[in-house]
Amino acid sequence: MLSLVEFQRRFAVDCLRDAPHEGGVEVHRGTILAALANALRLTFPTVVQLTGADFFDQVATEYARDNLPRSAVLYFYGDDFPDYLGHSNGARNLPCLWDVARFDLSIDRAGHAAAALHTETIPIDTQLNVRLASSLTCLQVDYPVDLLRDALDAGCPEQLSDLDMTPRARHFAVWRAPDGAAVKQIGPAAAAFLNTLLEGGAAAEALRHAMEDTSAPDALAAIQTDILSASFTQLTWSGA
Protein backbone atom coordinates (compact mmCIF):
# COMPACT_ATOMS: atom_id res chain seq x y z
CA MET A 1 0.00 0.00 0.00
CA LEU A 2 1.27 3.45 -0.92
CA SER A 3 2.03 5.95 1.81
CA LEU A 4 -0.02 9.13 1.81
CA VAL A 5 2.97 11.18 0.66
CA GLU A 6 3.70 8.82 -2.24
CA PHE A 7 0.02 8.71 -3.21
CA GLN A 8 -0.14 12.51 -3.25
CA ARG A 9 3.02 12.74 -5.32
CA ARG A 10 1.80 10.22 -7.89
CA PHE A 11 -1.55 11.97 -8.05
CA ALA A 12 0.21 15.29 -8.68
CA VAL A 13 2.36 13.73 -11.43
CA ASP A 14 -0.75 12.34 -13.11
CA CYS A 15 -2.47 15.70 -12.85
CA LEU A 16 0.40 17.48 -14.57
CA ARG A 17 0.58 15.15 -17.54
CA ASP A 18 -0.52 16.66 -20.83
CA ALA A 19 -2.99 13.83 -21.47
CA PRO A 20 -6.72 14.73 -21.27
CA HIS A 21 -8.26 14.48 -17.82
CA GLU A 22 -11.70 14.19 -16.35
CA GLY A 23 -13.16 17.51 -15.28
CA GLY A 24 -12.44 17.04 -11.59
CA VAL A 25 -8.81 16.11 -12.15
CA GLU A 26 -8.38 19.04 -14.52
CA VAL A 27 -9.44 21.37 -11.71
CA HIS A 28 -6.79 19.84 -9.44
CA ARG A 29 -4.22 20.21 -12.21
CA GLY A 30 -4.97 23.89 -12.58
CA THR A 31 -4.80 24.39 -8.83
CA ILE A 32 -1.42 22.66 -8.54
CA LEU A 33 0.11 24.60 -11.45
CA ALA A 34 -1.26 27.90 -10.16
CA ALA A 35 0.19 27.26 -6.69
CA LEU A 36 3.63 26.39 -8.07
CA ALA A 37 3.66 29.36 -10.45
CA ASN A 38 2.67 31.65 -7.59
CA ALA A 39 5.49 30.28 -5.43
CA LEU A 40 7.93 31.12 -8.23
CA ARG A 41 6.36 34.56 -8.64
CA LEU A 42 7.05 35.33 -4.98
CA THR A 43 10.66 34.13 -5.20
CA PHE A 44 11.50 35.96 -8.43
CA PRO A 45 9.78 39.38 -8.20
CA THR A 46 12.37 41.22 -10.30
CA VAL A 47 12.05 38.68 -13.10
CA VAL A 48 8.27 39.13 -13.07
CA GLN A 49 8.59 42.91 -13.36
CA LEU A 50 11.29 42.68 -16.01
CA THR A 51 9.57 40.17 -18.28
CA GLY A 52 5.91 40.89 -17.59
CA ALA A 53 3.40 38.68 -15.80
CA ASP A 54 2.15 36.90 -18.94
CA PHE A 55 5.60 35.73 -20.04
CA PHE A 56 6.59 34.77 -16.52
CA ASP A 57 3.42 32.78 -15.86
CA GLN A 58 3.88 30.87 -19.12
CA VAL A 59 7.48 29.91 -18.36
CA ALA A 60 6.69 29.19 -14.70
CA THR A 61 3.83 26.88 -15.66
CA GLU A 62 6.00 25.03 -18.18
CA TYR A 63 8.68 24.61 -15.52
CA ALA A 64 6.16 23.40 -12.93
CA ARG A 65 4.88 20.63 -15.21
CA ASP A 66 8.32 19.02 -15.26
CA ASN A 67 9.57 19.97 -11.81
CA LEU A 68 7.44 18.92 -8.88
CA PRO A 69 8.44 20.25 -5.45
CA ARG A 70 10.32 17.86 -3.20
CA SER A 71 8.78 19.43 -0.11
CA ALA A 72 5.40 20.75 0.92
CA VAL A 73 7.17 23.98 1.93
CA LEU A 74 7.08 26.01 -1.29
CA TYR A 75 9.48 28.63 0.09
CA PHE A 76 12.26 26.42 -1.21
CA TYR A 77 10.77 25.55 -4.60
CA GLY A 78 12.57 26.54 -7.78
CA ASP A 79 16.29 26.24 -7.05
CA ASP A 80 17.03 25.44 -10.69
CA PHE A 81 14.46 27.83 -12.15
CA PRO A 82 17.16 30.42 -13.04
CA ASP A 83 18.88 27.84 -15.27
CA TYR A 84 15.55 26.91 -16.86
CA LEU A 85 14.75 30.58 -17.40
CA GLY A 86 18.20 31.23 -18.85
CA HIS A 87 17.48 28.74 -21.65
CA SER A 88 14.03 30.16 -22.41
CA ASN A 89 13.22 32.19 -25.50
CA GLY A 90 12.93 35.34 -23.42
CA ALA A 91 16.59 35.10 -22.43
CA ARG A 92 17.59 35.74 -26.04
CA ASN A 93 16.24 39.27 -25.77
CA LEU A 94 17.24 39.74 -22.12
CA PRO A 95 20.75 38.32 -21.59
CA CYS A 96 20.65 39.55 -18.00
CA LEU A 97 17.67 37.32 -17.16
CA TRP A 98 19.74 34.44 -15.74
CA ASP A 99 21.69 36.78 -13.47
CA VAL A 100 18.54 38.59 -12.32
CA ALA A 101 16.88 35.29 -11.44
CA ARG A 102 19.94 34.09 -9.51
CA PHE A 103 20.01 37.38 -7.60
CA ASP A 104 16.32 37.11 -6.74
CA LEU A 105 16.83 33.52 -5.59
CA SER A 106 19.81 34.43 -3.39
CA ILE A 107 17.84 37.18 -1.68
CA ASP A 108 14.81 34.96 -1.20
CA ARG A 109 16.85 32.12 0.30
CA ALA A 110 18.68 34.51 2.63
CA GLY A 111 15.38 36.01 3.70
CA HIS A 112 14.11 32.61 4.80
CA ALA A 113 17.34 31.64 6.59
CA ALA A 114 17.90 31.93 10.31
CA ALA A 115 19.44 35.18 11.49
CA ALA A 116 22.42 35.67 13.82
CA LEU A 117 23.93 32.22 13.31
CA HIS A 118 27.62 31.92 12.47
CA THR A 119 30.04 29.37 11.11
CA GLU A 120 32.79 27.71 13.08
CA THR A 121 35.74 29.93 13.97
CA ILE A 122 38.16 30.57 11.11
CA PRO A 123 41.70 31.62 12.13
CA ILE A 124 42.97 34.57 10.10
CA ASP A 125 46.33 34.93 11.84
CA THR A 126 47.85 34.10 15.22
CA GLN A 127 45.57 36.60 16.97
CA LEU A 128 42.53 37.25 14.79
CA ASN A 129 39.67 34.82 14.20
CA VAL A 130 36.43 35.31 12.29
CA ARG A 131 33.03 33.69 12.14
CA LEU A 132 30.75 34.28 9.16
CA ALA A 133 26.96 34.35 9.04
CA SER A 134 25.84 30.81 8.26
CA SER A 135 23.41 32.16 5.64
CA LEU A 136 26.19 33.97 3.76
CA THR A 137 26.67 33.32 0.05
CA CYS A 138 28.81 35.02 -2.57
CA LEU A 139 27.26 35.59 -5.98
CA GLN A 140 29.05 36.58 -9.19
CA VAL A 141 27.02 38.09 -12.03
CA ASP A 142 27.73 39.98 -15.24
CA TYR A 143 25.02 42.63 -14.99
CA PRO A 144 23.98 45.33 -12.44
CA VAL A 145 21.25 43.19 -10.95
CA ASP A 146 21.08 45.22 -7.75
CA LEU A 147 20.34 48.43 -9.64
CA LEU A 148 17.80 46.67 -11.85
CA ARG A 149 15.96 45.37 -8.81
CA ASP A 150 16.12 48.73 -7.00
CA ALA A 151 14.72 50.63 -9.99
CA LEU A 152 11.85 48.21 -10.51
CA ASP A 153 11.03 47.98 -6.79
CA ALA A 154 10.90 51.78 -6.68
CA GLY A 155 8.45 51.82 -9.60
CA CYS A 156 10.94 53.62 -11.85
CA PRO A 157 11.42 51.36 -14.91
CA GLU A 158 12.51 54.41 -16.92
CA GLN A 159 15.78 54.32 -14.97
CA LEU A 160 16.72 51.02 -16.60
CA SER A 161 17.73 52.78 -19.81
CA ASP A 162 20.40 54.70 -17.88
CA LEU A 163 22.11 51.61 -16.48
CA ASP A 164 25.45 50.44 -17.81
CA MET A 165 24.60 46.96 -19.07
CA THR A 166 28.11 46.17 -20.28
CA PRO A 167 28.85 42.61 -19.12
CA ARG A 168 31.58 42.52 -16.48
CA ALA A 169 32.09 40.60 -13.30
CA ARG A 170 30.20 41.94 -10.31
CA HIS A 171 30.29 40.29 -6.88
CA PHE A 172 27.73 40.38 -4.08
CA ALA A 173 27.66 39.03 -0.56
CA VAL A 174 24.10 38.02 0.40
CA TRP A 175 23.07 36.99 3.91
CA ARG A 176 20.30 37.11 6.48
CA ALA A 177 20.51 40.21 8.68
CA PRO A 178 18.31 40.70 11.76
CA ASP A 179 15.70 42.61 9.74
CA GLY A 180 15.77 40.44 6.60
CA ALA A 181 17.96 39.66 3.60
CA ALA A 182 20.97 41.95 3.14
CA VAL A 183 23.18 42.56 0.10
CA LYS A 184 26.64 44.08 -0.11
CA GLN A 185 28.62 44.56 -3.32
CA ILE A 186 32.24 43.54 -2.84
CA GLY A 187 35.35 43.72 -4.96
CA PRO A 188 36.92 40.81 -6.87
CA ALA A 189 39.77 40.27 -4.40
CA ALA A 190 37.36 40.20 -1.46
CA ALA A 191 35.10 37.83 -3.39
CA ALA A 192 38.01 35.46 -4.07
CA PHE A 193 38.93 35.56 -0.38
CA LEU A 194 35.34 35.01 0.78
CA ASN A 195 34.58 32.22 -1.67
CA THR A 196 37.61 30.28 -0.51
CA LEU A 197 36.55 30.57 3.13
CA LEU A 198 32.98 29.54 2.30
CA GLU A 199 34.32 26.49 0.48
CA GLY A 200 36.23 25.44 3.61
CA GLY A 201 39.66 26.77 2.64
CA ALA A 202 42.12 28.18 5.13
CA ALA A 203 42.83 31.90 5.44
CA ALA A 204 46.28 31.56 3.85
CA GLU A 205 44.77 29.90 0.79
CA ALA A 206 42.01 32.52 0.67
CA LEU A 207 44.55 35.33 0.81
CA ARG A 208 46.59 33.75 -1.96
CA HIS A 209 43.52 33.60 -4.20
CA ALA A 210 42.73 37.22 -3.41
CA MET A 211 46.28 38.33 -4.27
CA GLU A 212 46.09 36.52 -7.61
CA ASP A 213 43.46 39.02 -8.80
CA THR A 214 45.60 41.59 -10.64
CA SER A 215 42.65 43.98 -10.96
CA ALA A 216 42.77 44.60 -7.20
CA PRO A 217 45.82 46.79 -6.39
CA ASP A 218 45.40 46.40 -2.62
CA ALA A 219 43.81 43.08 -1.78
CA LEU A 220 44.42 43.43 1.96
CA ALA A 221 42.59 46.77 2.11
CA ALA A 222 39.71 45.30 0.09
CA ILE A 223 39.42 42.32 2.44
CA GLN A 224 39.46 44.64 5.46
CA THR A 225 36.74 46.89 4.02
CA ASP A 226 34.52 44.34 2.30
CA ILE A 227 34.85 41.30 4.60
CA LEU A 228 36.36 41.95 8.00
CA SER A 229 34.38 45.17 8.58
CA ALA A 230 31.09 43.78 7.24
CA SER A 231 28.15 43.04 9.51
CA PHE A 232 28.09 39.41 8.38
CA THR A 233 31.50 38.91 10.03
CA GLN A 234 32.12 38.39 13.74
CA LEU A 235 35.68 39.11 14.87
CA THR A 236 37.39 37.60 17.92
CA TRP A 237 40.93 37.96 19.15
CA SER A 238 42.96 35.22 20.80
CA GLY A 239 43.47 35.85 24.47
CA ALA A 240 40.67 38.42 24.58
What are the residue ranges spanned by the domains of the chain? Answer: 1-94, 115-240
Contact 184, 226 (CB under 8 A): yes
Average pLDDT over residues 127-147: 96
Q: What is the pTM of this model?
A: 0.86
- Over the stretch 7-61, which tens digit does the pLDDT of each residue have? 455 555 555 555 555 545 555 567 788 899 999 999 999 999 999 999 999 999 9
Predicted local distance difference test score (pLDDT) of residue 112: 93
DSSP string covering 164-213, please?
------EEEEEEEETTEEEEEEE-HHHHHHHHHHHTT--HHHHHHHHHT-
What mean pLDDT is predicted for residues 144-156? 97
For residues 207-231, average pLDDT? 85
Q: What is the mean pLDDT of residues 89-103?
A: 91
**Phi/psi of residue 20, nearest 5 degrees:** -60, 145
Q: What is the pLDDT of residue 113?
A: 93
pLDDT at 4: 44
Supply the mean pLDDT for the chain: 87
Q: Which of 116-125, 134-143, 206-215 shows the lowest mean pLDDT across its residues?
A: 206-215
Task: Answer whether residue 240 shows pLDDT above 70.
Answer: no
